Amino acid sequence: MLTPLDEHQLLVFWTQLLVLVATARICGSLMRRINLPSVIGQLGAGVILGPSIFGRVWEDGFEWFLPDDEISSGALFAVSWLGVALLLVTAGFETDLGLIRRLGRAAALVTGFSLVVPLFGGLAVGFLLPESFIGADSDRTVFALFVAAALSVSALAVIAKILSELGLMRRDFGQITVAAGMANDVVGWVMLAVFTGFAASGEVSVRAVLETVIGLGLFLAVAMTWGQRVVDRALRWVRRDGTNVTGAMSVVVFTMLIYGVATQALGIEAVLGAFVAGVVLHRSRFQQPEVLHHVESLTTTFLAPVFFATAGLRVDLGLLGEGDALTWAGVVVGVAIVAKFAGAFVGARLAGQSNRAAVALGAGLNARGALEIVIASVGLSLGVFNETAYTVIVIVPLVTSVFAAISLRIAVRDWLGSHDEQQRLEREEALSRNLVVKSSRILLPSQGEAASIAAAQLVQFAWPKEAPATIVSVRSDGDWPDISVVEAVLDEREVDHRQVKGDDVAAAILAESLLGYGVIAVGVAARHEGQLYSPMVDELLLEATLPLVIVRRARGLDRPLPPAFSRVIVPVTGTRSSRSAQEVAFAISAELGTEVVLTHVFHRASPLPRIFGRRGREDDPSMAVAEQLVGGATALAAEAGLTPRTLIRESASAGTALVDAARSEAADLVVLGAQLRNVDGRPFLGHTVETVLEQSDATVVVVAHPRAARGESGGSSN
């Protein structure tokens, strides 16, 4: 039977939430102002409101605020544990298991040494700490194991926040730090699960280890396979009509609760299930980026501050004044910092990292946070720690996070990294500003014909290899098309294949495009009478909400694949769609060494006036505009490390001028941007596009933005 809170208990409960959230947010903001993680301020808020300060300054008010009432305490702790569960879901979202594998030897060595060295240091401290630190329901060995776990882990969330605030996330050492932090989290949760089993059974036994490890292993195996498929199907279903944040949030909450129930039933903390739920949700290609933003907003503004502040409430600094507790607290903090730094430094040097990178890794991995507080909270609730030991363990993330933020800032001051690293960072920065050529998934409809092979080749050349692709083959009758050549062209990137049976090909492609893609690439052959391209492509142009890249292969080819492009003509008009075409051309040039010819065509409505009996370029507004536009495009090319040629022509027909330019320059590729107009229910991309498609023998690529997204006025952009 449910026992409701009475009016006074409800008043205290709501007051607790109000005061905790307000104080935690204020203290967190103060920490951010001095470039320290907000979690330090949130923990500090709990210390201020706890027995350390508030309880000594106003004892009666403290007793009213935190009464010795199990029901009231249970309500507050329920909210705080919900907060840590959602916090661990967001940490799971940030955990990329593929990143750990890709970084290979460096990540493995740094992770191993940064865990093992402080683990042994923690064990030594755990066995040396006085009996007065050990909980009444624990023995020395289990106590030492909990101390070792708390000192050996790092906090991925705090590490990521520090690196992000310092702009170091994409640095080489930053990626290794994140990978090691991820592995620290995973190993930390495994240790917590095993050690919790020891504490629950009251002894360290091989049977308990096997039961815990086997149970955890089975859970992870089911969660990452069968569970992953169920989550994928659920997220795909809620996204079938497009973006559906509410439906996706429901999947997140249900997954977190189901996984939490499963781990709690196994005798493992439910927060581990929440963490695994976050990893599974992050791995799903049908996840919507907006969902993480909403979960983070709720967690960071309300629930996480409650958890961290509640953790701080249980810290009584006054206990450090008893006996030699303060001295031992200093020993614990010192071992935590030195052992973690030494382990990460040695691992980095063995992996071939420079001294400066090794120092940065040792500094960054010293950050502790949520996981250590969870370990301390679990240890206190199970009777492994008493209040004094809990206070000492919670002090560690406060001190080490400050140390990590300050020492990391010092370690990387005026350090730009290697030349290759700087080039990679510049490329990533340029890619992040792109309109079309991004790292998001590419949708490639294909029947295995030559036109779609050409589209696949363009995707392979122009889009970064980390951008995955999905090939959709549609069958109305007969056998499924052979797309083996298309798959072979895309062999350097992650590719999956979907088969859709039906008569409405465009509808099937449009439905698939709603499931998290960045662009649609489609190949076309000869034009159909009465159509811009074909019935399918025309419907895609009218209905798609994504940019559509249309590839018409060169005429007269006697092979499935056109040769690597040697020269590309790119019209420059200063519009958003023209910028998109330049992105495609520049990416191809960077990949193949293709020469880029930036071309601007203008038409004078009236003859150029003569001043002082001769023409002057300074008196020619058309030429001034042309040079300005071409100069801007040249600057963009220079950012990509390219040196294009420029071509400015005067003509009454831009399309004819571009066809002539492609012929005279011996260009084998023309890339045009276009904005779509709907003319009597039919797509129209402008006379320039139509002329080039009709008359040019080169491969022609048209980058068309959907009408709802282009944000431009009507008219042809090329």
291-349 pLDDT per residue, tens:
888 888 888 889 888 988 887 787 788 888 888 889 999 999 999 999 999 999 999 99
Question: Is the model's pTM score more than 0.85?
Answer: no
Task: Report yes or no on 446 lying in a domain.
Answer: yes
H helix runs in 522-669, sequence order: 535-543, 576-592, 621-639, 654-664
Task: Report yes or no on 430 lying in a domain.
Answer: no
When divided into structural domains, the chain yields a total of: 2
User: Domain holding 452: CATH number?
Assistant: 3.40.50.12370
Window from 118-122, 553-557, 606-610 with minimum mean pLDDT: 606-610
Mean pLDDT, to the nearest integer, of 506-523?
A: 88
- What is the percent of the chain with per-residue pLDDT over 90, rounded to a whole number? 32
**Residue 171, number of CB atoms within 10 A of its CB:** 22
The count of C-alpha atoms lying within 13 angstroms of the C-alpha of 479, restricted to the half-sphere facing its C-beta, is: 4
* Better pLDDT: 115 or 448: 115
Residue 246 to residues 85, 274, 276, 284, 290, Cα–Cα distance (Å): 19, 19, 21, 17, 10
Is residue 452 located within the same domain as residue 409? no
Residue carrying the six token digits 């930036």: 598
Task: Report yes or no on 614 lying in a domain.
Answer: no
Highest mean pLDDT among 111-120, 295-304, 445-454: 111-120
Helix (H) or strand (E) holding 548: strand 548-552
- Backbone φ and ψ of 551, nearest 5°: -120, 120
Is residue 358 located within the same domain as residue 456? no
Task: Report yes or no on 486 lying in a domain.
Answer: yes
* Domain coverage including residue 573: 442-604+619-710
Task: Report yes or no on 715 lying in a domain.
Answer: no
Is residue 245 located within the same domain as residue 302? yes
The per-residue pLDDT for 8 is 87
Task: Report yes or no on 433 lying in a domain.
Answer: no
Residue carrying the six token digits 């949130």: 42
Partners of 678 in beta bridges:
683
Mean pLDDT, to the nearest integer, of 463-481?
A: 82
The per-residue pLDDT for 526 is 63
Task: Report yes or no on 610 lying in a domain.
Answer: no
Is residue 281 located within the same domain as residue 186? yes
CB 227 within 8 A of CB 263: no
Is residue 269 located within the same domain as residue 376? yes
Q: Over the stretch 140-162, which tens digit does the pLDDT of each residue have?
A: 988 999 999 999 988 776 777 67
DSSP, residue by residue, 16-48: HHHHHHHHHHHHHHHHHHTT--HHHHHHHHHHH
Is residue 636 located within the same domain as residue 568? yes
Eight-class DSSP state of 129: S
Task: Report yes or no on 3 lying in a domain.
Answer: no
The per-residue pLDDT for 558 is 63
Is residue 227 located within the same domain as residue 155? yes
Is residue 250 located within the same domain as residue 349? yes
Is residue 92 located within the same domain as residue 152? yes
Mean pLDDT, to the nearest integer, of 419-440?
A: 76
Is residue 200 located within the same domain as residue 253? yes
User: Domain holding 363: CATH number?
Assistant: 1.20.1530.20
Is residue 476 located within the same domain as residue 329? no
Is residue 262 located within the same domain as residue 365? yes
The per-residue pLDDT for 378 is 86
CB 176 within 8 A of CB 381: no
Report the C-alpha gap between 649 and 658 in whole angstroms: 9
CB 445 within 8 A of CB 499: no
326-346 per-residue burial string, b: 16 or more CB within 10 A, e: under 16: eebbeebbebbbebbbbbbbb
The per-residue pLDDT for 328 is 92
